[in-house]
A and B are shown apart, each in its own frame.
Chain A
Amino acid sequence: MIPSVFEYHAPSTVSEALSLLGQYGDGAKLLAGGHSLLPMMKLRFAEPAHLIDLNKIRELSGIREEGGVIKIGAMTSETALIDSALLQKKIPLLVEAASLIADPQVRNRGTIGGDITHGDPGNDHPAITIALDAKFILVGPKGERTVAAGDFFLGTYMTDLQPEEILKEIHIKPFAPKTGSAYCKLKRKTGDFATAAAAVVLQMSGDVVSSARITLTNVGPIALHAQAAEQALVGKPLTDASIAAAAAAAMAICDPAEDLRGNIEYKTAMAGEMTKRAIRLAATRCK
């Protein structure tokens, strides 16, 4: 319950935050919503000497559409994602996923950027952003760089974000007309991390699947992009057989950790089941 002592900094601009990061290096952690970091600090899993609070930096929050791209500030809360009329209309998968994350109080504080940069395979945004082919805008002392969500997650709690960098924005293309999507998450109770979850983004041309993105949550050391599962669907009519083939391909890449949520066999089977359900649900939404 009691975190170790640390120095607190509350910069009001990104450049100020970057210079603090440069100054304190590995001893510093960025404080966003604080709903992963503070719990770890309260259990003394993390004992940073400096916390750099990003909550006073206004340029890091907000959702806007610009040049055909939806740009989401990293400090945008889960609640703000759910309440966004723009996202409800243009990227409903993000809204559906956010409403399955944690609970109302946690969603008021937890941010999309923090959920991503934490790099926890249990978090939902990693698989969601890969399914959406999101781009992450990272800012560091030498300027900005862009990394695709699919290249960002390297291992459990490990991402491509460098110690001197800050995730600034998440860029996602709005859904084309008639795109269907779904996020099916199996969990023991509200607020729990997934036993297994699948995100699906589909486009249909008549009965035939013209494009598919399928990703999996919490069944590997990182969020998984089930490309073979996508190939099992694309260019074919959507049938029980093609859905089963996609689920089998998704299960084939699972490498879950055994814990209180279940053993490897159970989690793998549930990843397949969530994949089937998400495909069927996404298909009904391709209208």
Chain B
Amino acid sequence: MAKKLITVTVNGNKIEQAVEPRTLLIHFLRENLNLTGAHIGCDTSHCGACTVDIDGQSVKSCTHLAVQCDGSEVVTVEGLADKGVLHAVQDAFYKEHGLQCGFCTPGMLVRAYRLLQDNVNPSEEQIRAGMAGNLCRCTGYQNIVKAVRHAAKTLQTAKQAVAA
């Protein structure tokens, strides 16, 4: 089957590759680009371990074709830290003990990263609803909620500091 040439920006790097149309984005990221942070936890689009950010929206990359990303901007967990400094969501999951085995964490972090841009000050209910596409087997979610709230406060404080 003929491959298609795509140009996609991943974590700020422009990438040009030929892909088979049936290649799922998650496999493209993990196998072609070696970005193995995003994980695969199911084959029915439920778990959200594969969540990445495509053109400003959280998407389950197991249910998206790499060929569809031609011209898109993709952010994965590897793109969250800035020059070695953790993003607020990463720091908050660490401080609030929002992970144990770490398998859901990349998807959780990338989802939280987008959630906090769409809603800068979410309530607990909004966090739980906003993270409902991501399953976790370890934490019981409680500390993940705390981590997202923690990150929201950090981001707001940083924004106020810039404004002042």
Contacts and interface: CB of A to CB of B under 8 A. Distances in A.
Bound together: yes
Interface of A: 1-8, 10, 34-35, 38-39, 42-43, 51, 53, 55, 79, 102-106, 108-109, 190-191
A104 B46 CA distance: 11
A77 to B, nearest CB: 9
Given A5-B22, A51-B21, A106-B60, 19 more contacts: A1-B40, A3-B22, A6-B21, A7-B1, A7-B2, A7-B21, A8-B65, A8-B67, A34-B64, A39-B44, A42-B43, A43-B43, A79-B57, A103-B133, A104-B130, A105-B51, A105-B59, A105-B60, A108-B59
Contacts of B68: 10, 34, 53, 55
Given A39-B44, A39-B63, A103-B132, A108 B57 contact: yes
A163 B20 CA distance: 26
Interface of B: 1-2, 4, 20-22, 24, 40, 43-46, 48, 51, 57-60, 62-65, 67-68, 70, 111, 115, 129-133
B106 to A, nearest CB: 14
Contacts of B57: 79, 108
Contacts of A79: 57
A104 B65 contact: no
A104 B4 contact: no
B64 A104 contact: no
Given A3-B22, A6-B21, A190-B132, A104 B63 contact: no
A109 B4 CA distance: 22
Contacts, number: 80
Contacts of A103: 48, 132-133
Nearest to B3: A8
A51 B23 CA distance: 13
By Cβ-Cβ distance, the 8 closest A-B pairs, closest first, are A103-B133, A8-B21, A1-B43, A105-B133, A190-B132, A108-B57, A5-B1, A103-B132
Given A104-B130, A105-B48, A191-B133, A34 B63 contact: yes
Nearest to B107: A105
A191 B129 CA distance: 10
Nearest to B57: A108
A206 B24 CA distance: 56
Contacts of B22: 2-6
A4 B20 CA distance: 11
- Which among A38, A43, A102, A103 has the highest number of chain B CB atoms within 10 Å? A103
Given A6-B21, A8-B4, A53-B68, A191 B46 contact: yes
B99 to A, nearest CB: 19
B43 A104 contact: no
A113 B121 CA distance: 32
Nearest to A41: B22
B65 A34 contact: yes
